[in-house]
Chains A and B, each alone.
Chain A
Amino acid sequence: MRCKSKRSFTVMDPSLPCYILSFVLIGCVQSSLGDPQQHNETRHHEYCVLGAGPAGLQMGFFLNKAKRDYIILERNSGPGSFFNKYPRHRKLISINKIHTGRQNREFNLRHDWNSLLSDKPDLLFKRVSGEFYPPADSFPAYLSVFSKELGLKVRYGVDVGRIRAVLLASGRRYILTDQHAADYTCSVLLVATGLWVPQEVEFVGSDLVEGYESISTDPEDYRNQAVLILGKGNAAFETAQSILGSASRVHMLSSSPVRLAWQTHYVGDLRAVNNELLDTYQLKSLDGLLEARLEKVVIAPRKEQSSRRRRSGVEKREKKGKLFLTLNKYLQNRGEKNDSGVAGEELPGFHYDNFSMRKPYDRVIRCLGFRFNFSVFDGSACPPNSENAKGRLPGVTAWYEGTNTPGLFVLGTAAHSRDYRASAGGFVHGFRYTVRAVHRVLERRRHGAKWPSTRLSTSQLQSWILKRVGEASGTYQMFEVLGDVILLRGSHCEYLEEFPLQALPRLSSLSGHGVSDHGLIVLLMQYGKTKIDFLGRSRAETDWTKAWKSNFLHPVLYYYDTPPTDMKLRPHGWPLPRPKAIHHMVEDFLTEWDGPVSHIQPLRRFLEHAVQTDLRSFYAESCFRFSLTHRKPPLFCQHGYLKQQGVAHDRQPWQNVDVAGLTPAETDSDASGADPALPNYLSGAGASVSSGLKLDL
Chain B
Amino acid sequence: MTFFPTEIMCVWMCLSVFLLWMRSGGCTEKANTSDLMEYTAADFYEKLHSGKMMFIYFEHQVSPTVSLFLVELEKSVEALQDYGLDMSRSSVPVSSLKIYLTLCLKLSSLSSPSTSSAILREEVKYVHTDADLLAMEKAARGKKDLVLGYVRSLGTQEHRSMMETAYVYGSKYQFILITGGPVLKHLGVDELSHSSQVWFLHCRLHSSYRSPMTSERCPLTRMRKPLSTLSLHSFLQLMEAPLSEVYEDPSSVQPPVFPYQQTPQVFLFARPATEHLDRETAVTLAWRLRGLALLVLVHRYMLDDFTQEVTSCFHAEAFLLILLEYVKYLTLHDFNEVLDLFTNEEEGEEDEDEAVEEDSHVGELDDEVAASLYENRGDLLDMDSITQLTSENFHAAVAQSSLTVVLFYLRWDAVAMAFLSSYIEVAERLEGSEVQMCAVDCGEWTDLCAAQTGGSPPIPFRPITPELTVENLPSFLSLGKALLLLFVGEEEDEIGWRQNQALLEEMRGVVELGGGKMERYLACWIHLGRTPAGMSVLGSYLGSMPPLPALVLTHLPSGDEIYQYPSNTPIGAPAVLQWLQRVEDGKESPAGMLGDDSWPPAHDFYDFLKVMDMQEPESAQQRTPSAHDHYEDVDEATVEGNDVEEGTGSSSSSRLSAPDNNANLHSEL
A692 with B444: CB separation less than 8 A: no
Within residues 1 to 49 of chain B, which ones have a CB less than 8 A from any CB in chain A?
2-7, 9-12, 14-20
Chain B residues positioned under 8 Å from A649 (CB to CB): 368-369, 372, 418
Q: Mark B46-87, 1 if CB is under 8 A from A, else 0.
A: 000000000000101000000000000000000000000000
B515 on interface, CB distance cutoff 8 Å? no
- Picked from A291, A658, A663, A668, the residue with its CB within 8 Å of the CB of B667 is A291
Closest chain B residue to A663, Cβ basis:
B595
B347 on interface, CB distance cutoff 8 Å? no
B193 on interface, CB distance cutoff 8 Å? no
Determine the distance from Cα of A671 to Cα of B94 in the docked complex, in whole angstroms.
Answer: 10
A627 with B474: CB separation less than 8 A: yes
Chain A residues positioned under 8 Å from B132 (CB to CB): 696-697
Closest chain B residue to A10, Cβ basis:
B638
Minimum Cβ distance to chain A for residue B352 (Å): 11
A679 with B367: CB separation less than 8 A: no
Closest chain B residue to A609, Cβ basis:
B605
A167 on interface, CB distance cutoff 8 Å? no
Closest chain A residue to B161, Cβ basis:
A654
Minimum Cβ distance to chain A for residue B18 (Å): 4
Q: Mark B542-557, 1 if CB is under 8 A from A, else 0.
A: 1111000000001100
Stretch at the interface among A270-278, A313-321, A444-452, A570-578: A570-578
Closest chain B residue to A669, Cβ basis:
B14
B6 with A647: CB separation less than 8 A: no
Stretch at the interface among B197-205, B296-304, B566-574, B644-652: B644-652
A216 on interface, CB distance cutoff 8 Å? no
Chain A residues positioned under 8 Å from B485 (CB to CB): 628
Chain B residues positioned under 8 Å from A686 (CB to CB): 16-18, 58, 94, 97, 100
A480 on interface, CB distance cutoff 8 Å? no
**Interface residues in A, total, Cβ within 8 A:** 148
Chain A residues positioned under 8 Å from B410 (CB to CB): 463, 466-467
Chain A residues positioned under 8 Å from B371 (CB to CB): 655-657
Within residues 579 to 604 of chain B, which ones have a CB less than 8 A from any CB in chain A?
594-604
Q: Mark A658-697, 1 if CB is under 8 A from B, else 0.
A: 1111111111111111110111111111111111111111
A325 with B474: CB separation less than 8 A: no
Determine the distance from Cα of A293 to Cα of B102 in the docked complex, in whole angstroms.
Answer: 84
A463 with B596: CB separation less than 8 A: no
- Picked from B446, B555, B622, the residue with its CB within 8 Å of the CB of A105 is B446
Minimum Cβ distance to chain A for residue B517 (Å): 23
A571 with B619: CB separation less than 8 A: yes
Closest chain A residue to B556, Cβ basis:
A631
A682 with B413: CB separation less than 8 A: no
A289 with B533: CB separation less than 8 A: no
A647 with B418: CB separation less than 8 A: yes
A343 on interface, CB distance cutoff 8 Å? no
Minimum Cβ distance to chain A for residue B221 (Å): 20
Stretch at the interface among A135-143, A498-506, A613-621: A613-621
Chain A residues positioned under 8 Å from B638 (CB to CB): 9, 11, 255-256, 293
Determine the distance from Cα of A102 to Cα of B444 in the docked complex, in whole angstroms.
Answer: 7
A654-B628 in contact given A545-B606, A617-B367 (Cβ < 8 Å)? no
A471 on interface, CB distance cutoff 8 Å? yes
Minimum Cβ distance to chain B for residue A416 (Å): 13
Within residues 614 to 659 of chain B, which ones have a CB less than 8 A from any CB in chain A?
619-625, 628, 631-633, 635-639, 642-647, 655-656
Q: Mark A309-334, 1 if CB is under 8 A from B, else 0.
A: 00000000000000001010100000
Determine the distance from Cα of A197 to Cα of B370 in the docked complex, in whole angstroms.
Answer: 57
B103 with A695: CB separation less than 8 A: yes
Minimum Cβ distance to chain B for residue A561 (Å): 14
Stretch at the interface among B227-235, B236-244, B271-279, B329-337: B227-235
A291-B366 in contact given A571-B620, A581-B609, A683-B9 (Cβ < 8 Å)? no
Determine the distance from Cα of A122 to Cα of B365 in the docked complex, in whole angstroms.
Answer: 42
- Picked from B447, B605, B633, the residue with its CB within 8 Å of the CB of A608 is B605
Determine the distance from Cα of A634 to Cα of B601 in the docked complex, in whole angstroms.
Answer: 10
- Picked from B126, B412, B595, B644, the residue with its CB within 8 Å of the CB of A629 is B595
Closest chain B residue to A594, Cβ basis:
B412
A653 on interface, CB distance cutoff 8 Å? yes
Minimum Cβ distance to chain A for residue B214 (Å): 24
- Picked from A422, A665, A691, the residue with its CB within 8 Å of the CB of B163 is A691
A644-B458 in contact given A467-B410, A684-B17, A692-B126 (Cβ < 8 Å)? yes
A614 with B606: CB separation less than 8 A: no
Within residues 519 to 553 of chain A, which ones have a CB less than 8 A from any CB in chain B?
544-545, 547-548
Closest chain B residue to A628, Cβ basis:
B537
Minimum Cβ distance to chain A for residue B303 (Å): 33
- Picked from B375, B541, B639, the residue with its CB within 8 Å of the CB of A655 is B375
Closest chain B residue to A696, Cβ basis:
B104
A618 with B474: CB separation less than 8 A: no
B105 on interface, CB distance cutoff 8 Å? yes
B430 on interface, CB distance cutoff 8 Å? no
Closest chain A residue to B476, Cβ basis:
A627
A581 with B605: CB separation less than 8 A: yes
B156 on interface, CB distance cutoff 8 Å? yes
Determine the distance from Cα of A686 to Cα of B601 in the docked complex, in whole angstroms.
Answer: 27
B621 with A571: CB separation less than 8 A: yes
Determine the distance from Cα of A319 to Cα of B594 in the docked complex, in whole angstroms.
Answer: 98
Chain B residues positioned under 8 Å from A256 (CB to CB): 637-639
Determine the distance from Cα of A189 to Cα of B372 in the docked complex, in whole angstroms.
Answer: 57
Interface secondary structure of A, over-half rule = loop
Chain B residues positioned under 8 Å from A678 (CB to CB): 155, 160
- Picked from A584, A609, A697, the residue with its CB within 8 Å of the CB of B135 is A697
Stretch at the interface among A156-164, A509-517, A595-603: A595-603
Chain A residues positioned under 8 Å from B635 (CB to CB): 388, 420-422
Chain A residues positioned under 8 Å from B603 (CB to CB): 605, 608, 660-661
Stretch at the interface among A15-23, A52-60, A349-357, A426-434: A349-357
Minimum Cβ distance to chain B for residue A292 (Å): 3
Determine the distance from Cα of A40 to Cα of B209 in the docked complex, in whole angstroms.
Answer: 114
Chain B residues positioned under 8 Å from A253 (CB to CB): 644
B93 with A672: CB separation less than 8 A: yes
Minimum Cβ distance to chain A for residue B428 (Å): 15
Chain B residues positioned under 8 Å from A308 (CB to CB): none
A606-B606 in contact given A388-B632, A614-B601, A682-B6 (Cβ < 8 Å)? yes
Chain A residues positioned under 8 Å from B148 (CB to CB): none
Determine the distance from Cα of A418 to Cα of B623 in the docked complex, in whole angstroms.
Answer: 20
Stretch at the interface among B282-290, B356-364, B395-403: B356-364
B518 on interface, CB distance cutoff 8 Å? no
B369 with A695: CB separation less than 8 A: no
- Picked from A420, A578, A617, A650, the residue with its CB within 8 Å of the CB of B414 is A617
- Picked from A288, A291, A604, the residue with its CB within 8 Å of the CB of B639 is A291
B162 on interface, CB distance cutoff 8 Å? yes
A656 with B157: CB separation less than 8 A: yes
A622 on interface, CB distance cutoff 8 Å? yes
A631-B643 in contact given A601-B364, A694-B125, A695-B106 (Cβ < 8 Å)? no
Closest chain B residue to A683, Cβ basis:
B11
Chain B residues positioned under 8 Å from A695 (CB to CB): 103-108, 125-126
A582, A629, A692 — which one has the most chain B CB atoms within 10 A of its CB? A692
Q: List 17 A-B contacts (CB under 8 A).
A: A291-B647, A292-B645, A327-B644, A352-B656, A388-B636, A390-B636, A421-B635, A581-B609, A582-B609, A600-B414, A626-B595, A627-B474, A652-B372, A660-B366, A673-B95, A680-B9, A680-B540
Given pairs A629-B537, A666-B10, 9 additional interface contacts (CB within 8 A): A352-B655, A578-B609, A581-B608, A628-B473, A656-B371, A656-B372, A687-B5, A691-B124, A695-B126
Chain A residues close to B by CB (< 8 Å): 9, 11, 102-106, 121, 253, 255-257, 288-293, 296-297, 325, 327, 329, 348, 352, 355-357, 387-388, 390, 420-422, 463, 466-467, 470-471, 544-545, 547-548, 568-574, 577-579, 581-584, 594, 596-597, 600-602, 604-606, 608-609, 612-622, 624-635, 640-675, 677-697
The 9 A-B residue pairs whose C-beta atoms are closest, nearest first, are A661-B602, A644-B457, A292-B644, A681-B539, A665-B596, A673-B95, A608-B601, A684-B16, A594-B412
